[in-house]
Chains A and B, each alone.
Chain A
C-alpha cells in the first residue's frame, strides 16, 4: 500500500514538474522555441538540426492528416457506436454506420492523440535542451551524429521500435478492443456491418454471474472450477512424477542414460497435433484400446473414455502426464546435478534413508530453484488450449451447461468456441477478462509467497 501511495505521489509531482518546465521553456525561450509549440520541430530546423526537425514536423503533419481525413469521423461516434442502421432501398443495400470500425478506429484515435501529446512534450524538451546547450557555448551534434546515435547510445530505440509497434497493433489494440466489447451487445444478432451494436454497461458481467435459467453463472463456476483443478493436477503431477523419472535415470548404476532420455524427449519433438490426435483416437469407442480389450474378452462394451465426463477429465490429466513429463525430466536432470554431493554424503553418514533424503534435501532444493517455473507452468496450464482441444474439443457436451460449454472445457477453450462457433463476442470478451483476472490473481499471490523471491540468498 505504502509503495502504491508513494508512486502515486511521485507521479503527481512529476506531472507538476512537467507543466512547470513547459511553462518556463515558453517564457524563457526565444521566438524559434515559442513557434515550435505550434509548428513542431521549427526550432531544431532553424538551428540546423535538420533530421530531428523534419521528423517532428512530419509526425505533426501525419497526425493532422490522420485525424481530419480518417480518425475524427470514427472518434465522434464512439459514444453511441453509430446510429444509422444499414437499410435496403429498392434492392440496393445502403450501408449505415459500422459499429466495429467505429469502436476500433475510435480506440486507435484516442491512442494516437495520447502519442501526439507525448511527441509534443518531447518536441518542447528538445527545444529547451538545444537552447541551453547553445547558451552555454556548446555545439549541437551534427545530423550525421544524430543518425549515428541510433546505432550507439540510442540503439535501444532502434531495436525496440518494430517490436513495440508490432505488439501495439497485434496485441495491445485488439485487447483494448475486446475489453470494450465486453461492455457492448456485440453478438450474432448484432453483427456488423449489417447491424449496429452499442454500449450496454455491465449487463454482460451481470449475465455471467446470474443464476437464472439462461444465466451463465452455474456454467461459469463449473468451468472455472475444472480449470483450476486441471491446472493444479497438470502442474504438480507432472512436476513430481517428472522429478522421480529424472532421479531414476540419474541414479548411479543405471546404464544407457542417454537412451532413456532420448526416448522421452521424442514426445517434445513430435508436433502435438500428431501425437495428441492419435492418442485421442486410441481411446475412442472404436479405437485400438477398446478394440483390443473387447477382442481379449476383458470388457463387453466399449469403455466411454471420452463420453463420460469424469472419465474424460481423468484421461486428460493422465495423457497430459505423458506430454509433460519429458519436459520436466529435462529441466530436473540439469538441476539435480547442481545439488552439492556432500549434502547427501553427510546425510548418509547420519543414517538417512533414501525417502528422507528426497524429502529433506532434493525436494526443498528443487522447489526453491524452480519456484518461478512452477508458477509459469501453472498459469500456462490455466490457458492450455492444445491438450484439451485436440483430445476432446471440450466435450462431452452437456445439456446442463449454457453457452455450448462441454464438461472438459477450460475457460480458454470455452472462449474460443464462443468466438468461432457462436460468434457470441460479448460473452467471449467477458470470459477473456475473467481469465486475465484469474491469471493475474494467481500470479500475484503465488509470486509473493515464493521462497526464492522472499529470500534470494536462501540456497546460495
Chain B
C-alpha cells in the first residue's frame, strides 16, 4: 500500500473512531477487566446479574464516558465510584475497547 493511500486510510479510521478507542490497547484492557470488572459484568461483558448492565459490544466511547462520570462523581453509584477511582485515562480507554470488542449481545433497537 502506498504511503498517501495509507495516510488517508488512517485519517478515515481516525474520523470513524472515537479518540479514546483509537489510543486503546485491548489486551491491556482485558487484564484490567479480569482484575476489576469481571466479577459483576462478566469476562465477555454478558452480565448475568440482572441489576448490572451488559457491556459486550457496547460502544467504547459510551463505556468510557460512563467510567469518567463515575470517577468524577457526575454519575453517582457507590460500587462503580470505587471501581472507577483507580482507573487512569488509558485504563478507561483500554477497558472500553476490550468490552466493545467482545461479541455483541446488545443491539440498537426501535
Does B bind A?
A: no
